[in-house]
């Protein structure tokens, strides 16, 4: 084996082309999404219902589940990257957030919704 091949193999055994991409994605999912939600947690609409002094919409508890696919019959199941590539499908994971309405300082309603 030529010396340059040994050097290249040694280099790539320690340094991955995609390691920084994976670390960046993991940081986004684990830290940055929560930071974005924290910064925009409370939304105060400019138009509020009559007889209400204070009205806020609050965003909490963001969560991302495992990637899944909805089949033609409506059933949902996990999907893995190789299957997504072979079937030319998007490899994506559902993202959910809890939305709650606060009227005059008290929480009135809360629900979880899919946002991505």
Residues with Cβ within 8 Å of 2's Cβ and at least 6 positions away in sequence, in order, are: none
Task: Write the CA distances from 24 to 18, 20, 30, integer angstroms.
Answer: 10, 6, 10
pLDDT class of 11 with cuts at 50, 70, 90:
confident
pLDDT in tens, 33-67: 999 999 999 999 999 888 899 999 999 999 999 99
Q: What is the DSSP letter of 86?
A: H
Residue 15 vs residue 84, higher pLDDT? 84
pTM: 0.73
pLDDT over threshold 80, residue 1: no
Helix or strand holding residue 12 (H, E): helix 3-14
Per domain, the residue ranges of the chain are 1-39, 44-116
């Amino acid at each position: 084996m030529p010396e340059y091949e040994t050097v290249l193999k040694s280099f790539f055994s320690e340094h991955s082309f995609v390691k920084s991409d994976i670390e960046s994605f993991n940081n986004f999912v684990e830290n940055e999404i929560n930071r974005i939600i924290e910064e925009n947690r409370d939304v105060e609409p400019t138009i509020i219902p009559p007889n209400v002094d204070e009205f806020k919409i609050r965003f909490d508890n963001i969560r991302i589940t495992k990637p899944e696919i909805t089949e033609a019959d409506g059933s949902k199941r996990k999907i893995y990257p190789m299957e997504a590539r072979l079937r030319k499908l998007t490899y994506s994971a559902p993202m959910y957030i809890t939305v709650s309405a606060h009227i005059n300082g008290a929480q009135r309603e809360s629900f979880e919704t899919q946002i991505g």
